[in-house]
Amino acid sequence: MADAHVSSETQRFIDKDMHYGAHNYHPLPVVLTKGEGCFVWDVEGKRYYDFLSAYSAVNQGHCHPKIVKAVCDQAGTLALTSRAFHNDRMGDMLKKISEVTGFPKVLPMNTGAEGVETAIKAMRRWGYRVKGIPANKAEIIVAKGNFHGRTTTIVGFSDDPGAYADFGPATPGFVQVDYDDLDALKKAITPNTAGVLLEPIQGEAGVKMPSDAFLVGVRELCTQNNVLLCWDEIQTGLGRTGRMFAWQHACAKNPGCTFKGDCPSAGKACARPDLIILGKALSGGLYPVSCVAAKEEVMNVFDPGSHGSTYGGNPMAAAAAIAALEVLIDEQLCEKALALGVKAVARLQAGITSKNLKEVRGRGLMLAVEFTTPNAHDVAVELMEHGILAKDTHETTIRFAPALVISEDDLNAALDKIIAVCNTY
């Protein structure tokens, strides 16, 4: 097992965290104090390539100056009003998200899990009020291997014991099926099915990528059965996979479109959802911002008092989100991620020759290296020693997700180190 070399200064910070905090995370033994672009620095001044990007929350890079300025300017003007009153920033944020997603209505929240809970409530209420499902009988289909957050409702439909153990009883109304299995999904749909909630790429499961045919097939099944399709794009969305949203890769006739108006792929190869959940990079890492964007038919099920959040849509969140989306578009980060991702996957596939390598996979700059042996944590520790911060998952897989602003030279320099370390395992 790889041993981390931790100084007394670093250990001092770690000890304080462990003494006063709950042990609900097992972070790598590094204490960070500064971030800029694709780099972070620890308390001893060592620089690292950040290849986790806060689970893709900092797609725009650490402390992007445009987003920082927007947040700081707003913080000195008006930070919070609650939703008891209007503020002069939320409308602009909602308009921007609507333009980017192609959906007419947006409901702002704070965290990704809150976004998922919002989508669940929307699908259930739509099921009762629009589809006509009998009271308290609505079902939502989810996939095995899913990760949608940490609330009691959400962990109740996880199949990972680390997420749900001793947090029961599970909330009823959720049906699990195998991921990337259209036949299983088809069999699970009943007259009481209100929605299907899926990740277009399963991140926490180890960057598990379904076929494009699966994404299109899910859309077709939902349409045929009057069921809502919700893509959870909290981690995969906003440029990470080389499109604004990961589901767009499946649209053969017009890849990358946002489907404003008539869809040129409709009826042919379309994976457009009825509602979408966004978070993480929606603020560029500067502030917790999430939302659900949806068709009017779905969003109109909410009425005053039925759902809300004190902080949701606050002026600082709005300023951060507007700037974060502008950075993605103005700096063409989706296109950059797509081009760099193709090169990164090719380099990793050609360079890693370890006999324990199972697979290299990825889309855009959402990458994974999976081993046949349960040594991923050791690899992560060894990478840290060599100046690369990444995170293991499910014992055999290392995920890599650099900021989309990373230069090709920096990416290649980091890949040199990654390949060298992986080849020792």
- Calpha distance 298→295 (Å, rounded): 5
Catalytic residue among 103, 147, 214, 400: 147
CA 104 to centroid of chain Cα atoms: 22
DSSP state of 250: G
Angle between helices 333-351 and 408-422 (to 10 degrees): 30
Identify the H or E element spanning 149.
none
Q: Count CB neighbours of 409 within 10 A.
A: 8
Beta bridge partners of 176: 142
Catalytic residue among 232, 274, 378, 392: 232
Tell me whether residue 232 is one of the annotated catalytic residues.
yes
Residue 186, CB-side half-sphere exposure with 13 Å CA sphere:
8
DSSP state of 37: B
Residue (of 95, 144, 148, 98) closest to 123 by Cα position: 148
Place of tokens 């990358």: 256
Burial (Cβ within 10 Å: 0-12, 13-18, ≥19) of residue 24: exposed
Give the angle 42-46-49 at the CA atoms, nearest 5°.
Answer: 85
Tell me whether residue 245 is one of the annotated catalytic residues.
no
Catalytic residue among 105, 131, 280, 391: 280
- Calpha distance 399→261 (Å, rounded): 36
Tell me whether residue 147 is one of the annotated catalytic residues.
yes
**Tokens (6 digits) for 205:** 């499961």
Enumerate the active-site residues. Answer: 147, 232, 280
